[in-house]
Amino acid sequence: MTFVEIAFQLIVLAVAGLTLTGLAQRLDFPAPMLLIAAGIAASFIPVVPEVHLSHDVVLLGLLPPLLYSAALTTSLVDFNANRGSILLLSIGLVIFTTAGVALVVHLLLPGVSWPAAIAIGAVVAPPDAVAATAVARRIGLPRRVVTILEGESLLNDATALVSLRMAIAAMSGSVAFYEVGVDFLRASVGGVFVGLVAFFVVAKVRRKINDSLLDTGVSVVTPFAAYLLAEEFEASGVIAVVVAGLLLGHKAPVLQNAQSRIAERMNWRTIAFVLENTVFLLIGLQGRWIVQDVIDSELSLGRVLLVCGAALLAVMALRMIWVFPVRSLLNLPRAARQGGHWTSTFVLGWAGMRGVVTLAAAFLIPEETTHRPILLLIAFTVVAGTLFIQGLSLPWVARRLKVPSPDPAEEALARATLLHQATEAGFAVVDDDEEDPHGAIALIKARLDQRNFAVWEQLGNPDGDHETPSQTYARIRLSMIEAERAKVLEVRSSGQTPHTVVQEVLTMLDIEESMIDVATADGDRVRATRSEARATGALCDDLTREIEEVEPQTPDGCTGCLEEGTAWVHLRMCVDCGYVGCCDSSPRRHASEHFKDSGHRVMRSIEPGESWRWCFVHHVTG
């Protein structure tokens, strides 16, 4: 096959993946399932060339960037808070599943040795780093469950690959038990060490450069360099990539400038998006030749179906058997408000979809292994079966069990509080005696107020028939940007203005428009929930003190606005005297004025469906 033919097939593969993903989004159907189904169907079409997925391509070309992309966006704080749960699943459950599947395969498949059975057990043991979290985020599972799934899928490949390596070594000779422990220790500790080295090197380089293009180039090279370096020392390349990605993502606000962070975020989202689509399509395209190899074997169809079905059921059942007994160790019950009861445990157990690593690892099994085609079919069956059975039913299971999803209203309240605290910290460094002949401080305050108020305005009554100030601003400003862009394009057509200048102005307009679009979408999402916004986080003494219930002085509106005949946006009530004032997004800001005049520190929202309180002194909600 010529280079041009290979390039053409890769382009067709990418275009097909993107097209099918777009179709899945329009149909509101999980893209991984549609891609695999399309790949399986296409593999049986005579004109479609036979595609053999190489383990080298997956383990070196696909796995590092996918893991790195996921690690960059994973919260190191949440990961560390759930490290016990993650390790129980990524190490304990993988070993447990490996042993259980090995027992099933050894009993049902005649002639298969224990090392070969353990090898296929290790192959099908780790859930996929992409499939589970993609479905979990799509249906809105509790944040704690998503964090555990992310952490598990980032590390479990290392456990499975080390187990597979030991099983393959045992096929060619005896391997002592202590050697397995030593190899696992070398792989894990070595992987962590190489990941730390990669982090420190990249961090040092990033402190020396400010160019976003150079920074992006460093980012693209990092996962491959970390993976190869770790494998060179017989350590776990998977762990090295994950450690480097977690630390670099956590330290990005310190190590990179804003442009570099935006570029890195968008580049890795794009890379992961294209690779994920391609991966699932490739999985499906393996269908025909794997099935054909099994047909050519001497085993009966009934035996093949029995062992494949038993392996699939074992993988699904063993995960459930593991997560419920260790539920207390998984620390799920204490997170009941975040969905930490038995329903979340069940969903965590049901979200065990396998993916491309399972299929790629299966190809590492030596070709001379007895019943190798059957072992490959087992891997393919587990991947396709878990994706279709668990992946398609997971949204229904979550709805049926009423597993709570993250509340956008609570997130909006936390976002508004954090922005307010950040603004206070920003003004704290401004000298009160700062000379300001141009009114820059007033301009900065106005812009920050506009930013902060836009977030606060996402709360409140979703059924209101009036526009908030931020909604009015977005509507008018977007129409202005459209006219501004049209004028810039008209000027560009004349050819009298340098192209670089035109691009800079267009980029400025694009950034502003995208910020408005994101804020508008967030506001619509929060208002659409119609849920009660509750505050989370640390409370101050003013919010925790005993407060007697008081009646609002003017329950139908802001006291000051009613007296003055002005309009308000959202209403707040003083918990000490019952005074009702309008929020700071309102023109008169009577709530803040009441605090200044009375010294009463706490007011609460009296908008429908809201019960949170605000301390004017400590700038926290409760």
What is the Cα–Cα distance from 385 to 387, expressed in whole angstroms?
5
pLDDT digits (tens, 9 = 90+) for 555-594: 888 999 998 888 888 889 999 999 999 988 888 889 999 9
Query: So what's the pLDDT on residue 336?
Result: 41
Class level of CATH domain 541-621: alpha beta
SS3 405: coil
Secondary structure string (H, E, C) spanning 545-584 = CCCCCCCCCCCCCCHHHHHHCCCCCCEEEECCCCCEEECC
| Residue-level pLDDT at 132 | 62
Q: What pLDDT was estimated at residue 496?
A: 81
Residue span(s) of the chain under CATH 1.20.1530.20 come to 3-406
Write the CB contacts of 343 (distance below 8 Å, at least 6 apart in sequence): 401, 402, 403
At 258-294, the pLDDT tens digits run 888 888 888 988 888 888 888 888 888 888 888 888 8
pTM of the model: 0.79
Q: Parallel, antiparallel, or unpaired for β 613-615 and 602-605?
A: antiparallel
pLDDT tens track for 145-176: 888 888 888 888 888 888 888 888 887 766 66
Check whether 467 has a pLDDT greater than 80: no
Cβ atoms within 10 Å, residue 400:
10
Q: What are phi and psi of 603, to 5 degrees?
A: -130, 155
Q: What is the mean pLDDT of the chain?
A: 82
374-392 pLDDT, tens per residue?
A: 898 998 899 889 988 888 8
Nearest to 454 by CA among 392, 519, 384, 357: 519
Range with the largest mean pLDDT of 49-53, 190-194, 335-339, 451-455: 190-194
Q: CA torsion sign, 34 to 37 to 43 to 45? A: negative
Closest Cα partner for 379 from 201, 166, 124? 124
More confident residue, 32 or 240: 240
Q: Is-contact 580 502, C-beta < 8 A?
A: no
Q: Residue 531 pLDDT > 60, yes or no?
A: no
DSSP output for 474-520:
HHHHHHHHHHHHHHHHHHHHHT-S-HHHHHHHHHHHHHHHHHHHHHH
What is the assigned CATH class of domain 3-406?
mainly alpha
- For the chain, percent of residues with pLDDT exceeding 70: 89
- Residue 515: CB atoms within 10 Å: 13
Residue from 582, 573, 581 nearest 549 by CA:
573
| 3-state class (DSSP) for residue 376 | helix
Q: Give Cα separations from 573 to 184, 557, 581, 595, 614 (angstroms).
A: 60, 10, 6, 11, 10
Closest CA to 133 of 175, 75, 92: 75
With b for 16 or more beta-carbon neighbours within 10 A and e for fewer, the 553-577 pattern comes to: ebeeebbbbeeeeeebbbbbbbbbe
pLDDT tens digits for 492-518?
888 888 887 888 888 888 888 887 877
pLDDT band at 313, cuts 50/70/90?
very high
Q: CA–CA separation, 320 vs 471, rounded Å?
A: 47
Sorted by sequence, the CB contacts under 8 Å of residue 552 that are 6+ apart come out as 573, 578, 580, 606
pLDDT of residue 335: 44
Helices (H), ranges, 286-371 = 287-295, 301-323, 342-350, 356-362
Q: What angle (nearest 5°) sits at the alpha carbon of residue 548, between those of residues 544 and 552? A: 115
Q: How far apart are CA 369 and CA 115, in angstroms?
A: 10
Answer yes or no: is pLDDT of 44 > 80: yes
Residue 530 pLDDT: 52
* Helix, strand and coil in the chain, % to nearest 5: 70, 5, 25
Whole-number pLDDT of residue 337? 42
pLDDT band at 333 (very low <50, low <70, confident <90, very high): very low
Confidence check: pLDDT of 456 > 50: yes
Question: How many other CB atoms sit within 10 Å of the CB of residue 54?
Answer: 12
| Amino acid 186: pLDDT | 85
Residue 548 has pLDDT above 90, yes or no: no
* Location of each CATH 3.30.40.10 domain in the chain: 541-621
Position 523 scores a pLDDT of 66
Place of tokens 């107020």: 449
Q: Please state, in angstroms and rounded to a whole number, the distance separating the CA atoms of residues 555 and 551.
A: 8
* Backbone phi and psi for residue 367, each to the nearest 5 degrees, phi listed first: -65, -25
Q: For residue 86, which amino acid is it?
A: I
More confident residue, 54 or 286: 286
Q: Return the structure tokens found at 340.
A: 């930490």
10 Å Cβ neighbour count for 473?
17
The segment with the largest mean pLDDT, out of 144-153, 245-254, 360-369, 429-438, is 245-254
Amino acid 339: pLDDT: 42
Measured over the CA atoms of residue 350, residue 356, residue 357 and residue 359, the dihedral's sign is positive
Average pLDDT over residues 395-419: 75
Residues 6+ apart with CB under 8 A from 186: 234, 235
- For residues 443 and 596, the model is more confident at 596
pLDDT of res. 161: 83
Instruction: Show Cβ contacts of residue 395 under 8 Å, excluding neighbours closer than 6 positions.
Output: 135, 138, 139
At 340 the pLDDT is: 46
The reported pLDDT for the residue numbered 218 is 92
Task: Report pLDDT digits (tens) over 102-150.
Answer: 999 999 988 888 889 999 999 999 887 666 666 666 666 777 788 888 8
Read off the pLDDT of each residue in 71-77 and give the average, rounded to a whole number. Answer: 84
Q: Which residues contact 64 (CB under 8 A, 6 or more apart)?
A: 223, 224, 226, 227, 237, 241
221-230, 450-459, 549-558: which range is least confident on average?
450-459
What gap in Å lies between CA 406 and CA 136, rounded to an integer?
12
